């Protein structure tokens, strides 16, 4: 949308076009467009029969900048943060030089689509996975920045979240490079745009609000008041209330801390459900809420009936005693 | 690498100039003085006319800056993006010139093999974070801008939030055109914070012609004044960064 027209026309490449790297000599055949944004267009391509994603831009510096981040991510042991970087090169399209990089093709639905398809029970799983990845990024001095559902793809099976688009990824302590208003704490008047771990954690909170409100919502009063109200109004979010307030208020200093508290609240909620299940086994947990109210009403009715019976018993006992008294007095 | 302050003019308008000098010529003049001009065209539901669009692109092109036409709802995000983009572009130009001195010939970053570009980009990033930035904001207050002004105010507050997250110093000043008596009127003198805009903007009146060219010409003099005053005070001659791209 923000992309200028020259980039769009310059980088519009039809399926079947071979992209030849000027420096490394690799060839990539365009299969289809995967998406585009402010920084370029991403294509699905084939290289020696393997499917890989190729991002191109007429702005070589933005390509270089993203490559820098991906190279740094590659050094982090034991996990894959962002897509794996495979190649960096220039493509000469006529007299124009178009810079591109090639990365692992991350196949799967984006976060909102995934939750929509597979159900709410996946929210906590996905958020826990995301927080682990963010923790690793933060430990390595990076803040992801432009965290939003479109930049989160769920691979699988088994389902595993992956961050794409490192265009906003910023060195901790610097000004955030790129952001999207809805997920930006500055927009809501809840903090600065200086990159720190809690900047990303705010965005995680807003991603959860985005799950509850797929169309998002615009700022009215802004601030915590408006966000609190939106959380209160949502049924899906009620179990995450405490964590959301803290994330949006910037009260978590690290992803691992937020992850820990999320796990803990899930556990207490689980034990609560199990004790409930013990007293009255419910075949369908999803209908818990409605069932609970039904049961309570039934209980109230029963106790009303019980009251009448009690009164009758007391009355009959009293009358029996009365007859006994009369009988004895004779 | 040491650089002087970056100097930018951010022009926010919704159409065509209709009096005075050619704004595109004034933009070229600015570029000659090392001042970059960025232009943001604010649309309503209707599309900006062809003539307005040509002028907006022309000013940015000859002013060495960036232009973008947006609906008013997207103004905040655009203003900060355009400013940052122009900043990076200018710094890239500086780094490229430096490289040419080292490498000789017409070599730029892009002539390096991709693997070697990373370090250069790190330098540009670092400069973008630390360089001093002076932005003179020039707001069109002709009649058609009336109901867009609250959004413009929001966008400017948002801009100061973005730029003040950097380690480098920022200075902003705000001018509107046409002014009450002159082509251009100063609303806010050089300051690191834009918060005081809120009360000033509420009192703004709109109307009159659209003297974009004269406004740009006059805006340039405010950079000069500040520059000479500062060099008088500090005594050092700052090397201001010249044109970009
Ligand atoms: N490695 C990948 N595997 C699969 N799909 C991808 C990959 N990288 C990008 N995409 C798709 O392409 C789209 C655009 O890519 P990306 O977000 O990197 O572009 P951008 O120009 O940085 O966008 P933005 O304007 O959001 O910053 C993504 O939303 C995603 O759908
Ligand atoms: Mg994206």
| CA–CA separation, B24 and A156 (whole Å) | 55
Q: Chain A closest CA to B112's CA: distance in Å? A: 10
Which residue of B68, B92, B162 is in closest CB contact with A175? Answer: B162
B166, part of any domain: yes
CB contact under 8 Å between A193 and B122, yes or no, is: no
A241-276: pLDDT as tens digits: 999 999 999 999 999 999 999 999 988 877 776 665
Alpha helices in A236-287 (DSSP H): 241-248, 255-279
Domain map (residue ranges) of chain A: 2-104, 111-260
Q: Beta strands B170-177 and B133-140: pairing type?
A: parallel
Q: Are A192 and A215 in contact (CB under 8 A)?
A: no
- B83: pLDDT strictly greater than 50: yes
| Both tokens assigned to A328 | 């004895």
B187, part of any domain: yes
Alpha helices in B20-148 (DSSP H): 23-32, 50-62, 75-103, 114-130
| CA–CA separation, B85 and B91 (whole Å) | 10
Q: At what angle do helices A122-139 and A197-212 cross, to 10 degrees?
A: 160
Under 8 Å CB-to-CB from B127, ≥6 apart: which residues? Answer: B1, B3, B91, B94, B95
| CA–CA separation, B164 and B160 (whole Å) | 6
pTM of the model: 0.81
Mean pLDDT of chain A: 84
* A146 catalytically annotated: yes
The verdict on A88 touching B (C-beta cutoff 8 Å) is yes
| CA–CA separation, B170 and B57 (whole Å) | 26
**C-alpha angle A241/A247/A252, rounded to 5°?**
125
**What pLDDT was estimated at residue A275?**
60
Domain count, chain B: 1
Residues in chain B: 245
> Using CA positions, which residue lies closest to atom 23 of ligand 1?
A37
Burial class (CB within 10 angstroms; exposed 0-12, middle 13-18, buried 19+) of A132? middle
Portion of chain A with pLDDT greater than 90, in percent:
66
| CA–CA separation, B32 and B25 (whole Å) | 11
Structural domain including B23 reads 6-88+133-233
Q: Beta strands A170-171 and B67-71: pairing type?
A: unpaired
Question: What are the CA-CA distances from residue B185 to residues B7, B23, B152, B175, B201 (Å)?
Answer: 19, 17, 17, 6, 13
SS3 content of chain B, % helix, strand, coil (to 5): 50, 20, 30
Q: Which residues pair with A162 in a beta bridge?
A: A153
| CA–CA separation, B202 and A227 (whole Å) | 27
The verdict on B114 touching A (C-beta cutoff 8 Å) is yes
| CA–CA separation, B44 and B62 (whole Å) | 26
Q: Beta strands B67-71 and B36-43: pairing type?
A: parallel
Q: How confident is the model at residue B77 (pLDDT cuts 50, 70, 90)?
A: confident
Assign domain A111-260 one CATH number from 3.90.320.10, 1.10.510.10, 3.30.930.10, 3.40.47.10. 1.10.510.10
Ligand 1 pocket member A126 (CB < 6 A): no
Q: Are B173 and B222 in contact (CB under 8 A)?
A: yes
Taking Cα atoms as reference points, which of B15, B79, B24, B80 lies closest to residue B43? B15
What is the average per-residue pLDDT within B26-40? 93
| CA–CA separation, A237 and A315 (whole Å) | 52
Ligand 1 pocket member A44 (CB < 6 A): no
- Give the other-Cβ count within 10 Å of A318's Cβ: 10
> Using CA positions, which residue lies closest to atom 18 of ligand 1?
A165
| CA–CA separation, A63 and B29 (whole Å) | 32
The verdict on A175 touching B (C-beta cutoff 8 Å) is yes
- Chain A to chain B Cβ contacts (< 8 Å): 71
Tell me, in angstroms, the distance from the centre of ligand 1 to residue A57's CA: 12
A21-58: pLDDT as tens digits: 999 999 999 999 999 888 889 999 999 999 999 999 98
| CA–CA separation, A59 and A66 (whole Å) | 12
CB contact under 8 Å between A23 and B158, yes or no, is: no
DSSP-assigned letters across all residues of A34-77: EEEETTEEEEEEEETTEEEEEEEES-HHHHHHHHHHHHHHHTST
Among A58, A89, A133, A146, the one annotated catalytic: A146
- A321: pLDDT strictly greater than 80: no
B35, part of any domain: yes
| CA–CA separation, A239 and B9 (whole Å) | 49
Q: How confident is the model at residue A312 (pLDDT cuts 50, 70, 90)?
A: low
Tokens 């209330």, residue?
A241
DSSP-assigned letters across all residues of A123-182: HHHHHHHHHHHHHHHHHTTEE-----GGGEEEETTTTEEEE--GGG-EETTSB-S---GG
Burial class (CB within 10 angstroms; exposed 0-12, middle 13-18, buried 19+) of A262? buried
Residues of B in contact with A180 (CB under 8 A): 77
- A149: pLDDT strictly greater than 60: yes
B205, part of any domain: yes
Q: How confident is the model at residue B39 (pLDDT cuts 50, 70, 90)?
A: very high
| CA–CA separation, B212 and B217 (whole Å) | 9
- A233: pLDDT strictly greater than 80: yes
CB contact under 8 Å between A2 and B92, yes or no, is: no
B200-217: pLDDT as tens digits: 887 888 888 889 999 999
Q: Are A47 and A59 in contact (CB under 8 A)?
A: no
Tell me, in angstroms, the distance from the centre of ligand 2 to residue A107's CA: 15
CATH code of the domain in which B168 resides: 3.40.50.410
Write down the CATH number for the domain with range A2-104. 3.30.200.20
More confident residue, B106 or B132: B132
B147-162: pLDDT as tens digits: 888 889 889 999 999 9
- Give the other-Cβ count within 10 Å of A217's Cβ: 12
B143, part of any domain: yes
**C-alpha angle B6/B188/B38, rounded to 5°?**
40
Taking Cα atoms as reference points, which of A122, A8, A136 lies closest to residue A80? A136
Question: Which ipTM value was assigned to this complex?
Answer: 0.82
Under 8 Å CB-to-CB from A61, ≥6 apart: which residues? Answer: B88, B92, B109, B121, B124
B86-108: pLDDT as tens digits: 888 888 888 888 777 777 766 77
Tell me, in angstroms, the distance from the centre of ligand 2 to residue A154's CA: 15
With b for 16 or more beta-carbon neighbours within 10 A and e for fewer, the A111-127 pattern comes to bbebbeebeeebbbbbb
Ligand 1 pocket member A103 (CB < 6 A): yes
């Amino acid at each position: 949308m923000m992309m200028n027209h020259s980039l769009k026309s310059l980088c519009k490449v039809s399926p079947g076009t071979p992209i030849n790297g000027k420096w490394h000599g690799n060839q990539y055949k365009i299969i289809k467009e995967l998406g585009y944004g402010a920084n370029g267009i991403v294509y699905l391509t084939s290289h020696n029969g393997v499917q890989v994603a190729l991002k191109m831009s007429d702005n070589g510096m933005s390509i270089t900048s993203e490559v820098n981040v991906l190279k740094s991510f590659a050094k982090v042991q034991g996990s894959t943060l962002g897509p794996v970087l495979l190649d960096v090169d220039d493509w000469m399209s006529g007299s124009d030089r178009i810079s591109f990089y090639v990365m692992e093709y991350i196949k799967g639905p984006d976060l909102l689509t995934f939750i929509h398809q597979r159900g709410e029970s996946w929210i906590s799983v996905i958020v826990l996975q995301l927080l682990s990845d963010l923790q690793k990024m933060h430990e390595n001095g990076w803040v992801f920045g432009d965290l939003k559902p479109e930049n989160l793809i769920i691979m699988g099976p088994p389902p595993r979240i992956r961050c794409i688009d490192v265009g906003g990824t910023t060195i901790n302590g610097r000004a955030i490079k790129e952001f999207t208003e809805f997920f930006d704490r500055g927009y809501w008047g809840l903090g600065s745009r200086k990159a720190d771990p809690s900047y990303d954690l705010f965005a995680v909170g807003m991603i959860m609000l985005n799950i509850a409100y797929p169309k998002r919502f615009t700022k009215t009063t802004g601030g915590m008041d408006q966000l609190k109200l939106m959380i209160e109004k949502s049924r899906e979010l009620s179990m995450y209330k405490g964590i959301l307030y803290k994330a949006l208020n910037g009260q978590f200093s690290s992803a691992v801390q937020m992850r820990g508290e999320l796990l803990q609240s899930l556990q207490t909620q689980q034990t609560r459900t199990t004790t409930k299940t013990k007293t009255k086994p419910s075949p369908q947990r999803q209908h818990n809420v409605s069932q609970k109210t039904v049961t309570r009403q039934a209980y109230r009715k029963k106790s009303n009936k019980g009251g009448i019976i009690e009164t009758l018993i007391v009355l009959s006992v009293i009358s029996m005693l009365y007859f006994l008294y009369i009988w004895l007095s004779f | 690498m040491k650089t002087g302050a970056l100097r930018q003019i951010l022009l926010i308008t919704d159409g065509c100039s209709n009096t005075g000098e050619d704004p595109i010529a004034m933009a070229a003049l600015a570029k000659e003085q090392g001042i970059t001009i960025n232009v943001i065209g604010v649309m309503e539901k209707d599309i900006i006319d062809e003539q307005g669009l040509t002028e907006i692109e022309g000013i940015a092109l000859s002013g060495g800056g960036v232009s973008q036409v947006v609906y008013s709802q997207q103004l905040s995000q655009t203003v900060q993006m355009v400013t940052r983009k122009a900043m990076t572009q200018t710094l890239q130009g500086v780094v490229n010139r430096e490289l040419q001195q080292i490498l000789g010939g017409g070599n730029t970053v892009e002539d390096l093999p991709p693997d070697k570009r990373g370090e250069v980009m790190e330098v540009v990033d670092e400069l973008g974070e630390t360089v001093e930035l002076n932005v003179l904001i020039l707001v069109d207050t002709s009649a058609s801008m009336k109901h867009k002004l609250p959004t413009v105010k929001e966008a400017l507050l948002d801009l100061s939030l973005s730029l003040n997250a950097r380690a480098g110093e920022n200075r902003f000043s705000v001018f509107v055109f046409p002014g009450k008596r002159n082509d251009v009127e100063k609303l806010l003198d050089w300051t690191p914070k834009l918060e005081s805009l809120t009360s000033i903007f509420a009192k703004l009146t709109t109307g009159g012609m659209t003297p974009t060219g004269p406004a740009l010409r006059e805006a340039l003099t405010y950079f000069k004044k500040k520059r000479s005053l500062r060099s008088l005070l500090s005594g050092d001659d700052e090397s201001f960064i010249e044109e970009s791209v």
